[in-house]
Structure formats: structure tokens, C-alpha cells
């Protein structure tokens, strides 16, 4: 299927190929893990087929392509490639909360202690750069606690959750439930 798609796309403009990659990403977002992985591999093949012609895209489109490629690497299980690309994206766009969240999430999915420490660092940055009480801020606070839990600092995670509970509550009902479940796991 992937080869048939590539054959059909041969001769397409870089802008058309970018649109295909975006469409595959949207479809993968709604797919189960197995299908999402296959769609990510197709995205990567289409991106590879661009070669040097990607330079003819606008700077914004080239940047969008890098975001899509990093997400496709992650979805395809190519974690090392995804981390390298997200590192570049975070360095190029240090104030882009979405990029940093995706990078932090990828790191947090790991079982490697060093990557989990990096995830904790990235989630702390997201929290520090987010307006308090926004969805991003609550998500970052939860993920800081989760990263602490995953790195073995259960008491630190519990302390953060209890502090938030005492000073701000724990957000909306869904957020409060996630925090409560994590707190139970810490005890």
C-alpha cells in the first residue's frame, strides 16, 4: 500500500506532498496503535521522497514538516530519531509549548532513567512557562508529578499533588481524578 501511494504521488509538488503527510497524520491521530504506526511509516516515506525539494517549501511549511516528521518518528516507534528531531525543534523554538509538550511526553513514555529525568525537566519548563490554571499548566503539573513517580520519587510526587490540592484544588473533575489516582499510587 505504501509503495502504491508513493508511486501515485511521484511528480507531486512539495506542497502537495506536505498536504498528504498532514492528512496521514490526522488519520493516524484517530487510528488504533497498529494502524497509526503503519500510517506513520507511510508519512516518513512520503517525507523521504521529498528529498531536497523540501527546501522549496516556505520556512513555515518546512517547520511544519519537521513537526510532522518528529511525531511520525515517535508514532512509528523510532524513538531515538524522534528525540533527536524534537531536541532540534525545542532548541529552534524554545517558547513553543506544544513542541516542548510533545517532546516531554515522548521522554516520559520511556523506561530509561536518564530519559525520565529529562522528561521531568521538560515538564517543569512547560509548567513554568504556562499561565497558571490553564489546561496546559494543569497537564504539566500532572506530568511533573507522574515523572517524579516514574523516577522513583513517590514522596515528591505526593507532596506536589497535596500542595496543589491545598492551594488550588486539582483542576476540573477529570484532572482531579487523574491526580487522585496518581496520589493513590504514590502511597
Q: Which residue has the cell 528531531?
A: 85
- DSSP secondary structure string, 112-140? -HHHHHHHHHHHHHHHHTSPTTSHHHHHH
Alpha carbons 134 and 151: distance in angstroms, whole number: 26
Question: What residue ranges do the domains of the chain occupy?
Answer: 2-132
Q: Are 81 and 73 in contact, with CB atoms under 8 Å apart? A: yes
Alpha carbons 76 and 34: distance in angstroms, whole number: 9
Q: What confidence score (pLDDT) does residue 3 get?
A: 65
pLDDT tens per residue across span 49-67: 888 888 999 999 999 999 9
Q: What confidence score (pLDDT) does residue 168 get?
A: 80
Q: What confidence score (pLDDT) does residue 1 get?
A: 59
- Count the Cβ atoms, other than its own, within 10 Å of residue 46: 22
Q: What confidence score (pLDDT) does residue 175 get?
A: 84
pLDDT tens per residue across span 95-136: 999 999 999 999 999 999 999 999 999 999 999 999 998 989
Q: What confidence score (pLDDT) does residue 182 get?
A: 94
Please report which confidence band the pLDDT of residue 5 belongs to, taking 50, 70 and 90 as the band edges.
Answer: low
- DSSP secondary structure string, 21-66? HHHHHHHHHTS-HHHHHHHHHHHHHHHHHHGGGGGGS-HHHHHHHH
Please report which confidence band the pLDDT of residue 2 belongs to, taking 50, 70 and 90 as the band edges.
Answer: low
Asked if the model's pLDDT at residue 87 lies above 90, the reply is yes
CATH domain 2-132 topology: 1.25.40
Q: What confidence score (pLDDT) does residue 29 get?
A: 86
- Count the Cβ atoms, other than its own, within 10 Å of residue 34: 8
pLDDT tens per residue across span 133-166: 898 999 999 999 999 999 999 999 999 999 998 8
Q: Are 69 and 50 in contact, with CB atoms under 8 Å apart? A: no
Asked if the model's pLDDT at residue 7 lies above 80, the reply is no
- Count the Cβ atoms, other than its own, within 10 Å of residue 160: 21
Alpha carbons 104 and 100: distance in angstroms, whole number: 6
Amino acid at each position: 500500500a505504501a509503495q502504491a501511494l508513493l508511486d501515485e504521488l511521484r511528480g507531486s509538488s512539495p506542497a502537495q506532498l506536505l498536504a498528504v503527510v498532514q492528512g496521514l497524520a490526522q488519520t493516524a491521530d484517530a487510528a488504533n496503535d497498529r494502524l497509526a504506526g503503519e500510517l506513520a511509516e507511510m508519512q516518513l516515506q512520503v517525507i523521504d521522497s521529498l528529498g531536497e525539494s523540501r527546501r522549496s517549501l516556505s520556512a513555515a511549511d518546512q517547520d511544519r514538516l519537521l513537526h510532522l516528521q518528529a511525531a511520525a518518528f515517535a508514532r512509528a516507534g523510532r524513538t531515538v530519531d524522534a528525540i533527536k528531531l524534537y531536541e532540534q525543534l525545542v532548541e529552534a523554538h524554545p517558547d513553543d509549548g506544544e513542541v516542548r509538550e510533545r517532546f516531554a511526553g515522548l521522554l516520559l513514555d520511556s523506561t530509561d532513567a536518564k530519559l525520565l529525568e529529562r522528561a521531568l525537566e521538560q515538564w517543569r519548563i512547560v509548567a513554568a512557562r504556562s499561565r497558571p490554571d490553564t489546561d496546559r499548566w494543569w497537564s504539566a503539573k500532572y506530568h511533573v508529578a507522574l515523572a517524579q513517580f516514574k523516577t522513583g520519587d513517590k514522596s515528591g510526587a505526593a507532596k506536589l499533588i497535596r500542595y496543589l490540592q491545598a492551594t488550588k484544588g486539582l483542576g476540573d473533575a477529570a484532572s482531579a481524578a487523574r491526580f487522585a489516582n496518581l496520589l493513590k499510587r504514590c502511597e
